[in-house]
Amino acid sequence: GAVVSQHPSRVICKSGTSVKIECRSLDFQATTMFWYRQFPKQSLMLMATSNEGSKATYEQGVEKDKFLINHASLTLSTLTVTSAHPEDSSFYICSARTHPYGYTFGSGTRLTVV
């Protein structure tokens, strides 16, 4: 079946630094990638939707200059958290749309900003 590989699984960074999270579709072409964040005991919150070759569409309240999304190829989408702060600590998950109607999730990235 369709697999999305997400790396890193865990990352600890210092406040003010940037962190890049990668999601690769291993055996299919991901034309659309969704990026979510999830706080403890809460549901998934959609941050942005990216389509290959075009700019990402961000949800209301999500800073596009802080959360940079690049979807330059059909198999790779990246999320860069710039100038990270402790409040950015969260679980970040990518999800690719797979035909005919499903979605495949990456394994998630636990970001801790200290």
Partner 1 sequence: GQNIDQPTEMTATEGAIVQINCTYQTSGFNGLFWYQQHAGEAPTFLSYNVLDGLEEKGRFSSFLSRSKGYSYLLLKELQMKDSASYLCAVRKDSNYQLIWGAGTKLIIKP
Which parts of this chain interact with partner 1 (CB under 8 A)? 6, 32, 34, 41-46, 49, 91, 93, 97, 101-108, 110
Cβ nearer to partner 1, comparing 16 with 26: 26
Closest approach of partner 1 to the CB of residue 37, in Å: 12
Closest approach of partner 1 to the CB of residue 16, in Å: 26
Q: Is the dihedral of CA 106, 86, 63, 66 positive or negative?
A: negative
What residue has token string 């979605």? 103
Q: Do residues 28 and 76 lie in contact, with contact meaning Cβ atoms separated by under 8 Å? A: no
How far apart, in Å, are the Cα atoms of 113 and each of 44, 73, 82? 20, 29, 11
Cβ nearer to partner 1, comparing 59 with 63: 59
Closest approach of partner 1 to the CB of residue 91, in Å: 7
